[in-house]
Chain A
Amino acid sequence: MESLVRTDPVTLEDRLRAALPAGVDDASVRLVDERGEWLTVRQGQLEPASSHADLGAMFTVWAAGGLGYAATNDLSVEGLRRAAERAEAWARSTAGALVVATPPRSDAVGGYESPVESPWNDLSTADRIDLLHRQSAALRVDDRIVAWSARLSRREVDVLLLTQAGGRIEQRFRYLHPGLSATASDGHRVQSRSHGAGAFCGQGGLEVLDRFGFGDAAARVGEQAIELLAAENCPSGPMDIVLAPDQMILQIHESIGHPLELDRILGDERNYAGTSFVDLDMFGSYRYGSPLLNVTFDPTVPGQLASYGFDDDGTPATREYLIRDGVLERPLGGMVSQSRAGVDGVANSRACSWNRPPIDRMANLNVEPGDSSFAELIESVESGVYMETNTSWSIDDSRNKFQFSCEYGRRITDGELGEVVRNPSYRGISATFWRNLTGVGAPETVLAMGTPNCGKGELNQVINTGHASPTCRFSGVDVFGADE
């Protein structure tokens, strides 16, 4: 589908700016123009091809100390006027009853565009389907593969933010999401394996496929699903673990990202996504992890899933350390949360689309590489498990007690990788887990991936977040496997 924006004598941008209300404390309008396509070949058959085109605008109005939003799909002069009036009415009706906050006034002018080397349309629909058929066939390495699929989708999102203060920010995002999965069964056990569990995605064009080795992965995914059927159960007990980047991303996301979100610390999410074990007094002094732990908020990484130039309040995005040498430095909070908490944050006020208001989100949250090779991370483990690819995640509402399971594991004995184990799982507590970080992989072990399904907020929102991580080692972790 092409964009739904029509070419009119009075441009949509002119209509949007004209609709911004006067006589209020602050106002902005955010237009989101989105298109997407999905193709899936499941067990040798193309699933129904689908696409979408979405278009709408949200007005944000601050007036008399109140705040109101109104989102509309009616972009006519009259429709925009009604929405702006509705947002202003909400602002005036909430005056005096609002959580105290300062408008994130922005007069920034700028833009952002995802880097694209090989545009989606370089491959015809027929060629895309053919590619997926080949991967689907390659997944079925054995008759014991009972479910298998190859997927490819793209999303294009153009966002225009206009502010009453004269700001104008235009950002053009291009995303690609490939996927491979296989489920094997021998009549007794069932095991599933995937290519990164949906995390091998990013901004860009078809080059994202090569970035994650999509073209060569299918047979390995199928073979490992078969391999897992015969594998021993993961051992139980306290031991060292070495986590691949495609498990690290969930560990980072759940036990660093969410607890550092400032809106959670301020209590906004307590009815739904939860609160945080972190409080405002911890910033600047709290030892979050071992001295090996360095975490950055970095929306400037080219091609990572949640890169951008400005957040949805119009704040310029910059790379910032959240945790340096294990010590907590700053939270994930946009301008509104920063004004409420009185602390410095980052440019992470983001909305999933035109029909939701911005809230504090993660964007790219990355563990900085260390200096250990993969071999060195393994060599120092006397008894432990190496784990790849998240398959299950759960954590309490303060983001402390967690439990994760992975698709694929290998026993480590006396510093050497050994036999494959199935259902590798571990549990722990965020506040102490990162202090047991005993090894951080060198840059050659880093993968920059994404979690495209982060849910949060009331109204609910699903948004892209990005995580880059090296392979990492932790000591003394409570490890376990499946029910026998």
Chain B
Amino acid sequence: MNQERFDLLVSQATARLTGDEVLLASIEGEETDFVRFNGGRIRQAGSVEQSMLSLELIVGGRHARTSVQMGAIDDDQHRVDLALAALRDQLPTLPEDPYLLFNTAVTSSDQVTPSALPTPTDALERIRTAAGDDDLVGIYTAGATSRGFANSLGQRNWFETSTFNFDWTFYLHGDKAAKNLYAGFAWDDDQFAARVDWSRRQLDALARTPIDLAPGAHRTYLTPSAIAEVMGLLSWQSFSIRAHRTKQTALLRMIDGDARLHPELSITENTAEGVAPNFQEQGFLRPDEIALITAGAYADTLVSPRSAREYGVETNGAAAGEYPDSLAIAAGAIPSAGVLEALGTGLYVGNLWYTNFSDRPACRVTGMTRFATFWVEDGEIVAPVNVLRFDDTVFNIFGEQLAGLTDQAEVLLDSESYGQRSNASLRSPGALVNELRYTL
């Protein structure tokens, strides 16, 4: 669905409101091509076009929300009428909501990035050429995504971008593999070639005889991709004001106790440098940046409009789930080109996998090493390491035991596509940890 159609649809719906009805509308749409690979060949390929419209009807203190999949343009009015009728039926059965809050100051915005994507055929050809006879497995997705907000008060926000995301792994044998990600707005052959070359060099190291490392504490370098796995877990409630106020945040010991992270660690929700829209479903705009952790200390939380009303604070434009979309971790001082030298002797962890809280109130996290993970001695790769389970607290990993962060942060566009393609991203440096606890 394009901006013009969304505007028209909301304007027509607004014209059919009665009395003191207020309407909030959001749209999430995409046109996606996908090609899935296994063994350097194509496993599945196709296209998806979808566009989910959400309508929230408000009358006084009562409100309800429904989402409807849009379809042929001729069906727009019918589907909006169905949705409005369902909401009008439901509203009288609902109590007044003391926590209802929506934006009444009209703050319209447009953010449209013109498409510079290669055709699917071109991208496919470049990938297959690069893969050669290697065992390549992964997925290429590309296409336009759009997000919109509008209300019956006249506010209009539109966000539209076209991105590609090639998330792939070269396999050597068994579980020995090098994972990589190439994503962005316009394909650059040199950048892609550099990433392919980096993966192939990792395969050379992975060809050595792997070793089993005994459980224990090891000096460890975590790449930005490995850190992304931990941050993905922390994003689940840890920065939410609702989770903080109800003792459910994993960072509780930073709020109620004296736990601190390393002074070098600062984390923000950096909407300005991310690839997500800067508005949310009640029409509030997000600030360019929200400090979440500053110099190792708890700073601020993500506050949805509902929590703002419940806890008597200002909203900062968070969505209802109060999760970050555009986390950014400030870079440190370790030269990125010299991480092996900085590591000295220890583990180089290319990726982590399947993290979960093993003790949430203690912010203790467990998970597995995956893909390119090496034992390093005196700054030289010795051998790949068979998968290891770690189980340690974030306060150790990014606090007491953090030796430092690299001087360059990498931007990782989220390749997840549950329901729809993600607009989330992470900007992260690598991290050197003096001792990380491995258990199995």
Contacts and interface: CB of A to CB of B under 8 A. Distances in A.
A356 B391 CA distance: 35
A90 B48 CA distance: 12
Interface stretch (A68-76, A152-160, A315-323): A68-76
B45 A271 contact: no
Interface in A41-65: 45-46, 48-56
Interface of B: 32, 34, 36, 38-39, 41-52, 56, 63-72, 74-75, 78-79, 82-83, 86, 90, 93-95, 97-99, 121, 124, 128, 137-139, 141, 167-169, 171, 175, 177, 179, 246-248, 252, 256, 306, 320, 353-362, 364, 366-368, 370, 387, 389, 391, 393, 416-419, 439-440
A271 B170 CA distance: 9
Contact of B247 (A146, A266, A270): A146
Nearest to B252: A190
Interface string A435-475: 00000000000000000000100111110000000000000
Contact of B72 (A48, A76, A93, A405): A76
Interface of A: 1-2, 4, 6, 45-46, 48-56, 67-76, 78-79, 83, 86-87, 90, 93-94, 97-99, 124-126, 129, 146-147, 183, 185, 187, 189-190, 192, 266-268, 270-272, 274-275, 355-357, 392-398, 401, 403, 405, 423, 425, 427, 429, 455, 458-462, 478, 482-483
Given A355-B48, A427-B439, A483-B359, A397 B387 contact: yes
24 contacts: A45-B99, A48-B306, A49-B90, A70-B48, A72-B49, A73-B50, A83-B47, A86-B47, A90-B46, A94-B42, A126-B93, A147-B247, A185-B247, A266-B38, A268-B36, A268-B43, A393-B356, A394-B356, A395-B354, A403-B439, A405-B359, A458-B34, A459-B417, A478-B440
Q: Which 5 A-B pairs have the closest CB atoms?
A: A69-B46, A147-B246, A458-B139, A76-B72, A271-B138
Contacts, number: 252
B255 to A, nearest CB: 11
A483 B179 CA distance: 33
Given A51-B90, A68-B46, A183-B248, 20 more contacts: A1-B66, A2-B86, A46-B94, A49-B94, A52-B68, A71-B50, A74-B72, A97-B41, A99-B42, A125-B90, A147-B248, A190-B248, A267-B39, A268-B43, A270-B137, A270-B177, A271-B138, A405-B358, A427-B440, A458-B417
A71 B49 contact: yes
A345 to B, nearest CB: 17
A396 B391 contact: no
B74 to A, nearest CB: 7
Given A48-B65, A55-B71, A460 B416 contact: yes
Contacts of A99: 38-39, 41-43
A461 B93 CA distance: 34
B246 to A, nearest CB: 4
Contacts of A75: 71-72
Given A6-B78, A483-B362, A51 B39 contact: no
Nearest to B36: A458
Nearest to A356: B48
B359 A76 contact: no
B93 A125 contact: yes
Per DSSP, chain A at the interface is mixed
Given A69-B46, A71-B48, A460-B417, A394 B354 contact: yes
Contacts of A478: 440
A83 B121 CA distance: 18
User: Among B41, B52, B141, B368, which residue has the most Cβ atoms of chain A within 10 A?
Assistant: B368
B228 to A, nearest CB: 14
B353 A6 contact: no
User: Among A46, A394, A395, which residue has the most Cβ atoms of chain B within 10 A?
Assistant: A394
B95 A425 contact: no
A75 B51 CA distance: 13
B48 to A, nearest CB: 4
Given A398-B175, A401-B368, A403-B391, A54 B52 contact: yes
B71 A74 contact: yes
B94 A97 contact: no
A83 B197 CA distance: 37
Nearest to B393: A483
Contacts of B94: 46, 49, 125, 129
Contact of A396 (B168, B248, B353): B353
Contact of B68 (A4, A68, A455): A4
Nearest to B370: A397
Contacts of A67: 42, 44-45
Given A125-B93, A458-B138, A462-B418, A401 B440 contact: yes
A97 B42 CA distance: 6
Contacts of A52: 52, 66-68
Contacts of B139: 271-272, 458-459
Contacts of B141: 459
A423 B362 CA distance: 11
B366 A270 contact: no
A56 B50 contact: yes
A185 B253 CA distance: 13
A246 to B, nearest CB: 17
A98 B356 contact: no
B35 to A, nearest CB: 8
